Amino acid sequence: MPRGFLAVTSHPSSLLPESEFHDWYEGEHIPLRLDRLHEFLSGARYRAVDASSSNTTTYGPTQPEWLAMYEIDDTATFSKPAYTSLREQRSAHEADVMKRLAMLVRRTGEEG
Q: Where are the domains of the chain?
A: 4-48+61-110
What average pLDDT score do residues 91-107 get? 95
pLDDT of 97 > 90? The answer is: yes
Predicted local distance difference test score (pLDDT) of residue 10: 95
Cβ neighbourhood burial of 15 (10 Å; 0-12, 13-18, 19+):
exposed
Predicted local distance difference test score (pLDDT) of residue 110: 94
The 8-class DSSP code of residue 79 comes to G
The torsion angles phi and psi of 13, rounded to 5 degrees, stand at: -80, 175
What average pLDDT score do residues 16-42 get? 94
Predicted local distance difference test score (pLDDT) of residue 62: 74
The 8-class DSSP code of residue 22 comes to H
39-79 per-position pLDDT tens digit:
999 999 999 887 665 555 555 567 889 999 999 999 999 99
Task: Determine what percent of the chain is predicted with pLDDT higher than 70.
Answer: 90
Predicted local distance difference test score (pLDDT) of residue 60: 56
d(CA 68, CA 106): 9
Strand 101-110: give its sheet, edge to edge: 40-47, 66-72, 4-12, 101-110
Partners of 106 in the beta sheet? 8
Predicted local distance difference test score (pLDDT) of residue 1: 75
Q: Which fold has domain 4-48+61-110?
A: Alpha-Beta Plaits (3.30.70)
**Diameter over CA atoms, the chain:** 44
17 against 52, higher pLDDT: 17
CB 98 within 8 A of CB 7: no
Whole-model pTM? 0.84
